[in-house]
Homo-oligomer: A and B are copies of this chain.
């Protein structure tokens, strides 16, 4: 018995596009469209139709020749594959501007994530309210992760503290890390880690602008 498609290794490049398919297909389904073609998805997202078909062929799911993909079905398959349908619980470490904003960020809840704790090591901010949450001291982290079965830790501290915070989160028992600090973080145990660095993106953009204006002046 050969393994199903969904069990094979899927390139990371493909997985990174899945959220975009999911969002688009949600939009379409909500606006009443039942079917969508690879070409239409490609146009909306800036890919080629070939890429779309390749990507979706990794899922346990098939389109229909001449009609395309069923929006509701594709939405359900993608959502399940990404683990977005699960209501995953997360904590944020770092109650600075970014950490507090993420704690209130509507988009998380809308895509199946629940922020259930906000931690900081500075006594000055511990105890302050951020929306429905109260900032807790780091000493309370392990107990909360255990009792509420937290799966994800968000690192929203300054770069110098990021590695130590990552270690604490891993020790506490989270199963994956989202690093928002502009620094490289290592995890033992090959725990999944994804970097989401806003300032890095700003620099990439700055570079593109710079090079474009240099090119214009030549």
Q: A residues touching B (Cβ–Cβ < 8 Å)?
A: 7, 15-16, 18-20, 22-24, 44-46, 81-84, 86, 88, 90, 96-98, 100-102, 104-108, 111-113, 151-152, 158-159, 175-178, 180, 182-184, 186, 192-210, 212-214, 218
Contact = CB atoms under 8 A, between A and B. Distances in A.
A15 B204 contact: yes
Contact of A207 (B18, B175, B178, B183): B18
A139 to B, nearest CB: 26
Contacts of A100: 97, 101
Nearest to A190: B212
- How many chain copies? 2
21 contacts: A15-B207, A15-B208, A18-B203, A23-B182, A81-B207, A83-B206, A83-B207, A86-B210, A97-B104, A97-B105, A101-B102, A152-B205, A175-B209, A175-B213, A178-B198, A192-B209, A192-B212, A194-B205, A196-B198, A196-B202, A198-B198
Nearest 10 A-B pairs (CB), nearest first? Answer: A101-B101, A83-B210, A192-B208, A196-B201, A83-B206, A19-B203, A97-B101, A97-B104, A194-B205, A176-B209
B192 A176 contact: no
Nearest to A198: B196
Nearest to A196: B201
B88 A20 contact: no
B202 A152 contact: yes
Contacts of A97: 100-102, 104-106
Contacts of A180: 198
Contacts of A207: 15, 18, 81-83
Which of A82, A96, A112, A212 is most buried by chain B, counting CB atoms within 10 A of its CB?
A: A82
A202 B108 contact: yes
Contacts of A104: 97
Contacts of A23: 159, 182-183
A205 B206 CA distance: 27
A34 to B, nearest CB: 21
A212 B112 CA distance: 19
